[in-house]
Amino acid sequence: MNRAFGLWLALGLTVGTASANGASKIFDVRQFGAKGDGRALDTESIQKALDTAGKEGGTVRLTAGVYLSQPLTIRTRTTLLLEEGAVLKATDEPAHYLPAGVTWEKILDGTSKGPFQPFIGGKDLEDVTITGKGTIDGSGEKWWIPAEEARKKVSGYTLPRPNLIVLNRGKNIRMSGITLRDAPKFHFVPTDCDGVVIEDVRVIAPEEAANTDGIDPSISRNIIIRRCFIDVGDDNIAIKSGKKVPGREFAVENILIEDCEFRRGHGLSIGSEVVGGVRGITVKNCRFDGTENGIRIKSRRDRGGRVENVTYTGIVMTNVYPALSFAGYYQNSSQLKMLENDPAQPVTETTPMYKNIRISNLTAYSTKSAGLIVGLPEAPIENFVLENVTIHAQTGLTIANAKGLELKNVTVNVKKGEPFTVIRSEVRGLPAK
């Protein structure tokens, strides 16, 4: 953790709550004509309140009720407050989210990808807060069925759909207390943001809802995610760095994730897009129960980059499969035959390169394998340390293409086979057989 982030971390809560707790005007959406009856469209009334708050600075308030709305745009210097019992519910008509001339039929047949407008969006923002005890509901049920059908036809395919909340180029962004649920695709995507605090937020979607990531920080810096409960159909958290940012060595930097609970989902991921680089990720005191993966760094040769200085500590996992997944062969990493026979390829700007990763004080119960720590032959994983780690699993931990990997007080208890499989790697501290 660098000194600048440490200072921001110490001050972040004070700064992040300034817009919510300071003296500000209240703009009740009902005073702008909103019905909140779950039937009438309240889009125009809510947007007028948001526009007014953006001009004057203040809080847009939704009292108890169900507010049905088409996409909305949040403005700078605005707090969106959903009081207990308030539900801001998205319409599920594709035409509401697509540009003119693009139809849902074109999305389904693959002739267009959109773009889709998110349910709540905003650009070039400063001092924005989304808070309260209410719910933002993406009405995703209608979207998930064709998405799953498309994924069954083409493995790994993501059918384009709207995200729930996307904030671009924001500074001093805060989200607290609310529930996000049933997004058509991703729930919250802060993109190219600097200074984001996400606290005490619940993110919920069915396990079978395709691509419903919980929180996806993308090309962003200085982020705190704490005390969140995330139970979704894809990555619980996915840190993404899909492009290089001019003037920045790492597009994603300084993220703290602590005291979070992850239920169903695909675990806590970095990647698979890491072309812009990722540095300075700390994960502390988090619990995983029933996630498809535990902690994970995933990429492949066409979308990789540098991932450095990542620390995990105080992690407890139950019913995960697997516990650890660090691989440069995204979507192919379980194929040991490939690992043994894959020749080194030229290193490029999109080669996954993982370095300086530390896992300590982790206990895991996996229903399948202990996991993978697998680099590429041309880019081995470097300086990877596991300390005070205990994993109970059906099968063992595979280590391949690693250099300078060290085990300190590491136990892998398996029901079948060897606890460790080592391929083309330098490993210190392997337990004696």
Burial 307-329 (b: 16+ CB within 10 A, else e): bbbbbbbebbbbebbbbbbbbbb
pLDDT (tens digit per residue) in 258-300: 999 999 999 999 999 999 999 999 999 999 999 999 999 999 9
Task: Say if residue 334's pLDDT is above 50.
Answer: no
Say which of 42, 127, 216, 234 is annotated catalytic: 234
Average pLDDT, the chain: 93
Q: How far apart, in Å, do the first and last CA atoms of the chain sit?
A: 38
pLDDT (tens digit per residue) in 413-423: 999 999 999 99
Q: Is residue 232 part of a domain?
A: yes
Percent of the chain with pLDDT over 70: 92
Q: Is residue 350 part of a domain?
A: yes
Q: What is the pLDDT of residue 154?
A: 87
pLDDT (tens digit per residue) in 182-233: 999 999 999 999 999 999 999 999 999 999 999 999 999 999 999 999 999 9
Per-residue DSSP letters for 299-336?
--TTT--EEEEEEEEEEEEEEES-SEEEESSTTTTT-H
Q: Is residue 433 part of a domain?
A: no
Q: CATH number of the domain that 175 lies in?
A: 2.160.20.10
Q: Is residue 339 part of a domain?
A: yes
Across 30-39, average pLDDT: 98
Residue 229's alpha-carbon distances to 80, 147, 365, 415, in angstroms, are 21, 25, 20, 32
Q: Is residue 161 part of a domain?
A: yes
Q: What is the pLDDT of residue 7?
A: 46
Would you call 208 helix, strand, or coil by DSSP? coil
Domain range for 45 = 3-428
Is 234 designated active site?
yes
Say which of 231, 235, 266, 392 is annotated catalytic: 266
Q: Is residue 128 part of a domain?
A: yes
pLDDT (tens digit per residue) in 92-103: 999 999 999 999
Q: What is the pLDDT of residue 11?
A: 43
Across 74-87, average pLDDT: 98
pTM of the model: 0.94
Tally the domains of the chain: 1
Per-residue DSSP letters for 391-428?
EEESEEEEEESEESEEEEEEEEEESSS-SEEEES--EE
